[in-house]
Amino acid sequence: MVYDVFLNKIKTGMEQALGKEYELSLHRITKNNGLILDGLCISKDKNPVAPAIYLNNCYHQYLEGCSLEEITQELLELYRSNEVLPTIHPARLSDYSAMKSRTACRLINTAANETLLQDMPHIPWNDLSIVFYLFLQENDTGIMTAGIHTSHLNTWGISQDELFQAAISNVSQLFPPSITSMDCILEDLTDAVPDLNRQAMTPFYVLSNTCGINGAICMLYPDVLKHFSEGIERDVLILPSSIHEVLLLPDEEDISYDELSQMVAQINASEVLPQDRLSNQIYRYSRRSDSIEIVSSCMLPLN
């Protein structure tokens, strides 16, 4: 069965299982770093919040021998476990005062997202861009968000700077920062991996947020790096592990920024999902200027 036929059969099977109160539609959705996924959007009782279930991996399951019935049942169970959605009246989506407390922001790579950024308000930051989204709900399976597009700003009648000020304030409260030493993270692994060189990893720290999603933005939270830098009495090197977290390393005279950058690029290529990659560059937080700049000269493309 060809892919497009498979998608429509899954949609039909889900429609029959869910009933007439649900509206289902297939959409091609552009995700981070140019990844395009096929999403089955499900709306109940005209609710404007319509979660998307991505079907690309389902097709691989089908090719490996899973039946349409088995895949449909898995998707139904997935949807049912997340069916309690925030109810937002369409009029509230047009009211910035009602949506302001839900605005948030995250970091993505600029060059890898040129198409996505054409329709999204964004603020350039080094080789990255700050983009914005609405935080709708959090549960045991993750968070539900919706991207903020240029049309939202036009409807709300606000500037990009106003959006940023609200979003960075909200996200730092909704998702507080968390800094953990790599030594603590590896502590539980030494029994399972006796040859693990913990000493070599000790200087590294992981900066993310408490939910571990889109945590790289934490390096822009007010005073987070300032206080960390004061605590270690060094400038801080920032290695972009992914869009979800960054690694912090005290800056020392004998450290090669370009060698670190090559290491990050290798890890990105071999260990990080394409949609989660942030950058191959190395950044440094300066205590003197209280600012972050790129210190590597890496020219390797992200993808």
For the chain, give the percent of residues with pLDDT over 90: 75
pLDDT value of position 190: 44
Q: What value does the mean pLDDT take over residues 144-150?
A: 91
**Within this chain, do residues 235 and 169 fall inside the same structural domain, yes or no?**
no
Q: Where are the alpha helices (DSSP H) in 19-113?
A: 56-63, 68-80, 90-93, 96-99
pLDDT value of position 196: 41
**Within this chain, do residues 143 and 54 fall inside the same structural domain, yes or no?**
no
pLDDT value of position 140: 66
pLDDT value of position 141: 62
> What tokens does 115 get?
């198409």
Kindly list the distances between the CA atom of residue 208 and the CA atoms of 22, 81, 171, 221, 256, in Å, as whole numbers in the listed order: 37, 27, 12, 11, 24
**Within this chain, do residues 105 and 153 fall inside the same structural domain, yes or no?**
yes
**Within this chain, do residues 159 and 224 fall inside the same structural domain, yes or no?**
no
Residue 269 lies in a domain: yes
Q: What value does the mean pLDDT take over residues 41-54?
A: 84
Residue 36: domain span: 3-80
pLDDT digits (tens, 9 = 90+) for 5-37: 999 999 999 999 999 999 999 999 999 999 999
**Within this chain, do residues 124 and 99 fall inside the same structural domain, yes or no?**
yes
Residue 41 lies in a domain: yes
Residue 299 lies in a domain: no
Residue that finishes a domain, picked among 108, 141, 174: 174
Residue that finishes a domain, picked among 80, 99, 123: 80
CB 36 within 8 A of CB 27: no
Residue type, 261: S
Q: Does the pLDDT at position 265 exceed 90?
A: yes
**Within this chain, do residues 128 and 206 fall inside the same structural domain, yes or no?**
no
pLDDT value of position 194: 45
pLDDT value of position 137: 78
Q: What value does the mean pLDDT take over residues 151-180?
A: 96
pLDDT value of position 116: 93
CB atoms inside a 10 Å sphere around CB 239:
22
CB atoms inside a 10 Å sphere around CB 195:
5
**Within this chain, do residues 211 and 287 fall inside the same structural domain, yes or no?**
yes
Element (H, E) at 265: helix 257-271
**Within this chain, do residues 165 and 265 fall inside the same structural domain, yes or no?**
no
Question: How confident is the prediction for the chain on average, in pLDDT?
Answer: 89
Q: What domain count does the chain have? A: 3
CB 10 within 8 A of CB 40: yes
DSSP state of 270: H
Sign of CA dihedral 240, 241, 246, 248: negative
Sign of CA dihedral 177, 180, 182, 184: negative
**Within this chain, do residues 44 and 144 fall inside the same structural domain, yes or no?**
no
* 158: Cβ contacts below 8 Å, ≥ 6 apart: 96
Residue 266 lies in a domain: yes
Q: Does the pLDDT at position 188 exceed 80?
A: no
**Within this chain, do residues 61 and 161 fall inside the same structural domain, yes or no?**
no
pLDDT value of position 253: 86
pLDDT digits (tens, 9 = 90+) for 244-254: 999 999 999 88
Gap between the Cα atoms of 56 and 36, Å rounded: 10
Paired residues of 246 in beta bridges: 207
Output 104 or 194, whichever has higher pLDDT: 104
Residue 302 lies in a domain: no
Residue 160 lies in a domain: yes
CB 26 within 8 A of CB 9: no
136 falls in which pLDDT band (50, 70, 90)?
Answer: confident
Give the global pTM.
0.87
Main-chain dihedrals φ then ψ at residue 284, nearest 5 degrees: -130, 130
Three-state DSSP state, 221: coil
DSSP per-residue codes, 168-211:
HHHHHHHS-EEEEEHHHHHHTTTTT-TT--HHHHTT-EEEEETT
